[in-house]
Structures are given as C-alpha cells and as structure tokens.
Chain A
Amino acid sequence: MSDFLDVLTNYDILGAYWVNIQLAFFSAVFALLLGLVLAMMRISPVPSLRGFGASYVNLMRNTPLTVIVVFAILVLWPIFNVSFSDNFNQNFFWLAVLSLSLYHASFFCEAIRSGVNTVPVGQAEAARAIGLSFLPAARLVIMPQAFRGAIAPLGNTLIALIKNTTVAAAASVAEVSILMREMIESNGNYVIPIFLTIAVGFVILVIPVGMLTTYLSQKLAVSR
C-alpha cells in the first residue's frame, strides 16, 4: 500500500485537476454567454436569427466533442491560423476552451430555452403591452424568470462540461486523464487504485455543483 502512496505522490495530481478546473471555468463562462445569445436568437421574432440559432444547435449538439477538439487543433489552428498564444501549451489550452465552449453553448442554449418555456406566454404579452420591445422584454421580464426555471438543466450541462474537460486530452492539454494514462502506463499493477483515485476526484468536484443547483433551483423558483 505504501508503494501506491509513492505512486500518488510522484505525480502532480492536484496540478492536473487544476487544469481541468480552469478548462471548466473558462468554458462554462463562454459557453453560457454564447448559449444565452443563441437562446435569444431562437426566441427572437426574426426568422433568419431563429434559423441560425437552430442550425448552430443542431450542428454542434450532434457532433462528437472529440471531433470538434481535433478540428480545432488540426484545422482551425494550422489552416485558419486561429491562435491564442505563441506558447504551444497555452495555445492548445485555449483551443480546447474554444472547442468546449462552442460545443456546450448548444446545450446551455437548450437549457435556457427550456427555462423560457416555463415562463407563461402572458408574461411576454404583458411586457409587450407596456411598450417593451423584444430585447428589453427579454432582458427584464423573460430571461430573469427563464434562468430561475432553468437552473436544474443548466446544472446538468455544467456537470457534463466539467467531466468533458477530459476530452481536452485530444488536444494534448496536460489534464487529469492524460496524467491517469501516464500513471497507469508506468504502474500497471496499480491500475484499479489509480483509476478509482481519478474517478473519486471527479465525484468530489461534481457533487457540490449538483447540490448547489438543487438548492438554488428551489430557492430561486418563481412562485406563480
């Protein structure tokens, strides 16, 4: 057993998790913002915006995340010169954030849209009747209620995003799943404990998110 502890201390597991946390944080912020814009498009009165929003969601949601990450590092970067940093590792980190953001924005969009569906149509009619046009009505009346109704699905999407940060391994970002593979390759006799350690780490990371969203979805629920 002490040998296994040696294995653990020989690797910077917390440092690797920190990379996943950073990937998750930045991707969640960008994906949520983009998802909000997409959701606004999808409920807007302009048909072309609605069409764009729907096409984006259907394309991104139905493409495997690994394919998007590989597309970013093999097409966006070398062919379209999308680069965030001269530092190779930094660049790949941000390409992974870009991929995760573009992918999860479609899920955040749909979560927000499910929240919009919890807002009775009369709320929008009342907003229009006092003279609010689409954007102010969405900002002041619809979206504040939609977010409160969408906390649970938003939380689910965030949880999926946190775990999907491991796909950044496809962009050679030094995160936990790459570390796990390295650890197993050199310490094959400890494959199960190593695997369990990494899995438990994610459980510890994700459980508070689930608890928080459950708490918030009850606390912030709009009473009607």
Chain B
Amino acid sequence: MDNPGMDAPATQPAEASSDVLVSLTDVNKYFGALHVLQDINLDVKRGEVLVVIGPSGSGKSTLCRAINRLEPINSGSITLDGQKLPEEGKPLARLRADVGMVFQSFNLFAHKSILENVTLGPLKVRRLKPAEAKKQAMELLERVGVANQANKLPAQLSGGQQQRVAIARALAMQPKVMLFDEPTSALDPEMVNEVLDVMVSLASEGMTMVVVTHEMGFARKAADRVVFMADGRIVEQAPPDQFFDNPQSERAKDFLSKILTH
C-alpha cells in the first residue's frame, strides 16, 4: 500500500498535502497465544469515514483501540498524520489528545458534572482559559442536544444522552480523527438513533472517523468504506453499496446472511 508518511522522521509530521491521516502497516497483536490482529495494513484518508464490521472476536475493537495505543501492538507500525505512535509518557499523551475516542460503555467521569466532563481535557491538556473552555463545551453540548443537562452527573442521564456527552467530550479536544468503539452497543434500542444522528452529522461535516459498529444502516448511510474483519484479518474492504449488495468473500457473505435476514 502506498504510504508516503513512512519515510519521514518519526518526530516530523508528514506534509500537509498527504491525504493519509491514519496508517497501519503490518500490525500484529497477540493476547497470549491468541493472534487477534494479523498483518493488518490499513490507511484512513483525511475526511474519510471508515466503518469496521465483523463477527465478535474478529479483532475490530482491538484494531480501533490500537490506533490510540490503548492496546499496544506487538509488531508493525501505526502512524497518525505521519507521526509514529510514541511508546509511552508525555508524547503518547499529546498524540492521544489529537485522537477522539468514544467507548461502548460511555466512560464519562462519574464524579464530575456533564460540563466538567467536557471541559476537563481542554482545561488540563489544551490549557484553555476556564471561560473559553466552558463556552466551547456549552456549544458542543448544545450541538449534541444535552446542553440543558450540563450541571447533572453522568448517572442522572440516559445512556443515549451519556453517549452524546462522550462525543462532545471527545470533540472538545478538536481531534484530527474520531474513534468509535461500538458506540451504540450498550444502548437501549430507542436511544440508538439519537447517537447515530450525531455521528452522521459529524461525518457529513468532514470529520475523519473510524467506527466499529453493528449498525449496518449507519454503515450504508455514512460510510465511505466498509472494512470487514474476521479472525484478526481484514477479509474485505469496499464502498458500502458494493460491500452490502455484492460481497466477494465467503466469510462476508456468511456474516451478512446471518445479520440481514431479519
């Protein structure tokens, strides 16, 4: 795969003209004897919405979490904006600040108010002034439709509201790319759409997104490319229409036949 950022020194961002934002090269990852990521090669372009689907245990969440090194990898390399992921410490923290992450279980800071959840990163990592951080946070909460809950604690909100706050918290860092690790899997069915709506609007605004999901409707509607994973490998990747209407691999056909028959 063409990979212009790879030859640049690790500390230098690639040229702005490079349209590859996230690049995984020969990535391997083991959990003990289990080979969860096998020779993964994947480029995510600036502004691209990549949807990763596949059966459970296929490694798609691990792939997502490897991109901001919540899961360290055993071999291969991952670059963000031409910069290789640092191993540890402050450089890694700096890089993570540029990568928004939305978790399956929301993970809002349980002891902080909704507003504080969104302002914490901007205040402590970006060093924004309190008034500035609050203004930005309120705009984001307005945008995801929970501004009227700003002073409540996370436990007082519904799952859908909490997940929208989590998206606002990630956006408050003005990330280059947003990672979504099964963002709607823990939600009651009636709350799935309110979260997907926010994600669709984010996608239409040109945010680079990597979305691990089981929401095929979202994949069809918002994805530029669907990546199908099984047993730790990328089995197939294609634009959504092509993938859903005419899957090439047996694994993908089998998977789709199981989820689309109802």
Q: Could you list which residues of chain A lie within 8 angstroms of chain B, going by C-beta atoms?
A: 45, 120, 122-123, 125-133, 136, 140-141, 144-145, 148, 222-224
Contacts and interface: CB of A to CB of B under 8 A. Distances in A.
Contacts of B97: 130-131
The interface residues of chain A, by DSSP majority, are classed as helix
Contact of B110 (A132, A140, A223): A223
A142 to B, nearest CB: 10
A120 B186 CA distance: 16
B103 A131 contact: no
Interface residues of B, number: 32
A144 B111 contact: yes
Nearest to A136: B124
A222 B108 CA distance: 12
Interface in B11-50: none
A123 B97 CA distance: 16
A224 B111 CA distance: 9
Given A128-B96, A130-B120, A140-B124, 9 more contacts: A123-B110, A128-B93, A129-B68, A129-B96, A132-B121, A133-B89, A133-B90, A144-B111, A222-B111
Contacts of A122: 103, 105, 107
B169 interface: yes
Interface string B112-139: 0000000011001100000000000000
Given A123-B110, A133-B89, A223 B103 contact: no
B96 A131 contact: yes
12 contacts: A120-B107, A125-B103, A126-B108, A129-B99, A130-B125, A130-B173, A131-B121, A132-B93, A133-B92, A136-B125, A223-B110, A223-B156
B250 interface: no
Contact of B70 (A45, A128, A148): A128
Q: Which of B90, B92, B94, B109 has the most CB of A within 10 A?
A: B109
B125 A123 contact: no
Contacts of B124: 132, 136, 140
B196 interface: no
A141 B112 CA distance: 9
Contacts of A131: 93-94, 96-98, 121, 125, 173
Contacts of B155: 223-224
The 6 tightest CB contacts between A and B, nearest first, are A131-B97, A130-B121, A126-B107, A122-B107, A129-B101, A223-B155
A97 B109 CA distance: 37
Interface string B185-209: 0000000000000000000000000
Nearest to B97: A131
A129 to B, nearest CB: 4
Contacts of A130: 96-97, 120-121, 125, 169-170, 173
B43 to A, nearest CB: 22
A123 B101 CA distance: 13
A150 to B, nearest CB: 13
Given A128-B70, A130-B96, A133-B90, A123 B121 contact: no
Nearest to A131: B97
B254 interface: no
Contacts of A141: 109, 120
B70 A125 contact: yes
Contact of A126 (B88, B109, B125): B109
A125 B105 CA distance: 11
